[in-house]
Amino acid sequence: MTVDIKRLILGKRLQTKDLPHQAISKPIGLAVFASDALSSTAYATQEILIVLSFVAGAAIWTHTETLAGITAPIGHFALPIAIAIAVLLTIVTISYRQTIHAYPNGGGAYIVARDNLGEVTAQVAGAALLTDYILTVAVSISAGVAQIVSAFPELLPYRVEIALTVIMFMTIVNLRGVKESGVLFSIPTYFFLVVMFGTLIIGILRYFTGTLPTMPPGMEFDLHHETGLSFSLFLLLRAFSSGCTALTGIEAISNGITAFKEPKSKNAAITLVWMSSILICLFLGITFLSIQTQVYPVELPTVIAQLASVIHGENTFFYFLVIAGTTLILLMAANTAYADFPRLAALHAGDGFLPRQLTYRGGRLVFSWGIVALALFAGLLIVVSGASVTFLIPLYAVGVFLSFTISQAGMVVRYNKISKLKPGEVVKGLETDMTYEPSWRFHQIVSAVGAVCTFVVMMIFAITKFTGGAWFIVVLVPVLVYIFFQIHRHYKEVAQALSLPRTKVDTHARPIQTLILIDNVHAETARMVNFAKSLGTPWKAIHIGTNPERAAQIRAKWDERIGEGTFEVIDSPLRLLAEPIREYVDKLLDETPDGYVHVIMGQLVMDTFWEQALHQNSAFIFNLALAGLERVVVTNVPYQIHHEHDSEGHDHMVAGEKAH
């Protein structure tokens, strides 16, 4: 009995009707969809501080700078930056509530853009989002591993290996299919929320009672990044754009509206507001306490680990709880992308902009190809970056903000269309129905403000982080869109070339000339001759003679053992196989302009891969050579050879089908 490794790892196959249809409540929905957004608080503050430290290195709490009349230690500028990000988050949240109501069946940027702005914009939004989902996996796992190595510095040399192991594990889990069963998914999110809010409350209490310590100044640590830049608005904007990674993931709920209980849109919108509020509290709290405790602006130990050690004491139970909670939610965030990327890729593929294979649900009902592609790209990013969050941050979030902008611009266009409807009129849309709304102008202004804000932020991103890596995304997205349209054109053209008139096709019988390709004369040969004879079409045997003596031997064997039909040798002094047969077939085709040439070849089929590897697959060469010829049909006659135990228990090989 053989063990089915695939089934062991991936589980048994599921039927299409097993797709889950279970609706989830708001608290569960929050847990399922919020991990991506909430987890970004694990690195957003830290990345702001790292950019600020470009000026004065570790001295961000003593080195004072003045901007617009405000004089403060440079690190203190993190708080106004965080507040600006919170305002931006509020705007985007209000704007996205509208999208959720307008697209109750799911209003991701791709769908909104396709519905309102046309194919090209939709592809741009999709390309940006797909890129960003890959980065979500790479950044979240890198940040999660950073928490672990902050607590266990002896693991530092194995960062990349740990991150790759996590990716591999997550890929297998997702290929099995994650039942988004809510309860399991809410544990890490609520665990993180409890631990993190607990920590923030304790920290703030200790601040007000004057017992909050600061990190010991002058402690040695490596900055690992440039310093000595001059302080400027440009640098502040760069810090702002690094902090804006906090906004990644807030679009998750708009993709998943259908998962909520009725009234779906209302529940989803409320959950979005909850999520944003929590996110703002966490982000501002972490930033405030980071300033008060004067953390080091470094990637390792992470700012979260530093805060936990200052507030709870290093290596205490609560310290490890914070590390564990943060790591867990970061891994959950990566897992979100494992659901989003394949689903979006399947949408693209369904519209013919990505390879069709991406739309096939595997044995476990998941989009297996998309999962594997995501894992490969994210793994590559982790290897290239050495699992460093700071290295990846400049690439990150440009795509998300581009999709925010497109999605909201789409909503502006949509409200324009709605304004032209008569009160009470309903228009069937591609995705969702449109009805007149009296307050359309207000909604439109909200979407427009959101779109302008996110567009401005995106430009700030692209400019301030351009040399740091954002250039790559700026180049990549148009290239992807170009490729998507090339693929689309290909599918359209193939469909065109294959299309039949809507009438009955003429399929009158044509003459067939059968050729049997012979390498030697043995049992497999006899099988091929037998099949050709059974077909009843005219046939002859062909041998490619790379060696004249051998060809003569084979002819003799043919006469002795087969002894019927024509046996013809095609000389091939250059020991080529494909070219001589192709020429021969070409000639036959010319002789019978209406007929088929039917080439029969044998194929030894062994039990195992290794045994198969011992037999030259000339069939493969012939297939390749003949595939380009019209009116040529290739038949493989398999001949099975397998092991069998005789009555005395000896293993030997016999021809024919294996008993099963």
Within 351-410, the residues that bind its own copies by CB under 8 A are: 355-357, 360-361, 363
Tokens linked to 11: 């589980």
Report the site for its own copies in 429-488 (rule: CB under 8 A): 487
Least gap, CB of 481 to its own copies (angstroms): 17
Least Cβ distance, residue 505 to its own copies (angstroms) = 4
- According to CB under 8 A, which residues from 237 to 256 bind its own copies? none
Q: Angle between the 398-419 and 471-498 helix axes, to the nearest 10 degrees?
A: 60
Q: Interface residues for its own copies in 631-660 (CB under 8 A)?
A: 631-641, 652-658
> Should residue 510 be labelled a site residue for its own copies when binding is judged by CB under 8 A?
yes
The smaller minimum CB distance to its own copies, of residues 68 and 509, is found at: 509
d(CA 426, CA 419): 12
Residue type, 357: Q
Residue 62 near its own copies by CB under 8 A:
no
Which region holds residue 528: left if phi is over 0, alpha if psi is between -120 and 50, else beta? alpha
d(CA 258, CA 334): 21
Answer yes or no whether residue 562 interacts with its own copies by CB under 8 A: yes
The SS3 call for residue 543 is: strand
Closest contact distance (angstroms) between CB of 616 and its own copies is 5
Size of the site for its own copies (CB under 8 A): 90
Which amino acid, one-letter code, is at 66?
Answer: T
Q: Is 508 in the site for its own copies (CB under 8 A)?
A: yes
Query: Binding to its own copies by residue 292, rule CB under 8 A?
Result: no
* Rounded alpha-carbon distances, angstroms, from residue 436 to 113, 445, 519: 20, 16, 76
Q: Which is nearer to its own copies, 118 or 511 (by Cβ)?
A: 511
Question: According to the binding rule CB under 8 A, does residue 71 interact with its own copies?
Answer: no
- Binds its own copies by CB under 8 A, chosen from 63, 206, 343, 522: 522
- Position among 535, 569, 588, 621 found at the interface with its own copies (CB under 8 A): 535
| E runs forming strands in 511-660 | 512-517, 539-545, 567-571, 596-605, 632-645, 651-655
Q: Which of 124, 104, 122, 120 is nearest to 112 (CA)?
A: 122
CB of 478 to its own copies, least distance (A): 19
Distance CA 109, CA 124 (A): 10
Q: Whole-angstrom Cα distance, residue 614 to residue 92?
A: 62
Stretch that binds its own copies, among 142-150, 206-214, 220-228, 629-637 (CB under 8 A): 629-637
| 202 vs 487 by CB, closer to its own copies | 487
CA–CA distance, 198 with 202 (Å, rounded to integer): 6
d(CA 455, CA 562): 78
Give the shortest CB-75-to-its own copies separation in angstroms.
39
Quick count: other Cβ atoms within 10 Å of Cβ 107? Answer: 28
Binding its own copies (rule: CB under 8 A), the pick from 165, 258, 530, 566 is 530
**Residues 565-624 contacting its own copies, CB under 8 A:** 573-576, 596, 598, 603-605, 611, 613-616, 623
For the segment 170-209, give every residue that binds its own copies (CB under 8 A): none
**Residue 157 in tokens:** 């040399």
Query: Which residue from 1, 3, 430, 500 is in contact with its own copies, where contact means CB under 8 A?
Result: 500
- CB of 433 or CB of 493, closer to its own copies: 493
235, HSE (Cβ side, Cα atoms, 13 Å):
21
Map residues 7-46 to x or -, x wherever contact with its own copies holds by CB under 8 A.
------xxxxx-----------------------------
Determine which residue in the list 441, 490, 540, 550 makes contact with its own copies, applying CB under 8 A.
490
- Which of 598, 513, 584, 512 lies closest to 545, judged by CA? 584
Q: Is 654 helix (H, G, I), strand (E, B) or coil?
A: strand
Dist. CA 358–CA 335, nearest whole Å: 19
CB nearer to its own copies: give 281 or 487.
487
Nearer to its own copies, 425 or 564 (CB): 564
Q: How far is the CB of 485 from its own copies (least distance, A)?
A: 13
Residue of the chain from 428, 502, 645, 650 that contacts its own copies (CB under 8 A): 502
Residue 6 sits in the site that holds its own copies (CB under 8 A):
no
Q: DSSP character for 546?
A: S
CA atoms within 13 A on the CB side of 17: 0
Which listed residue (220, 549, 560, 648) binds its own copies by CB under 8 A? 560
Tell me which of 157, 216, 563, 649 binds its own copies, using CB under 8 A.
Answer: 563
Other residues' Cβ atoms within 10 Å of the Cβ of residue 156: 14
Judge contact between 436 and 418, C-beta under 8 A. Answer: yes
Q: At what angle do helices 317-350 and 119-151 cross, to 10 degrees?
A: 160
- Tokens, residue 532: 């050709």
Quick one: how many helices (H) and strands (E) in the chain? Answer: 23, 10
Please report whether residue 499 would count as binding its own copies according to CB under 8 A.
Answer: yes
Shortest distance, position 637 Cβ to its own copies, whole Å = 5
Token digits for 544? 């490619």
In this chain, which of 503, 590, 647, 650 binds its own copies, going by CB under 8 A?
503
* Closer residue to its own copies in complex, CB, 238/543: 543
Comparing CB distances to its own copies, the nearer of 428 and 575 is 575
CB within 8 Å of 122: residues ≥ 6 apart: 110, 111, 113, 114
627 touches its own copies (CB under 8 A): yes
Cα–Cα dist 19/228, whole Å: 56
Figure out which of the listed residues 181, 315, 316, 537 binds its own copies, where binding follows CB under 8 A: 537
Choose between 268 and 541: whose C-beta lies nearer to its own copies: 541
536 near its own copies, judged by CB under 8 A? yes
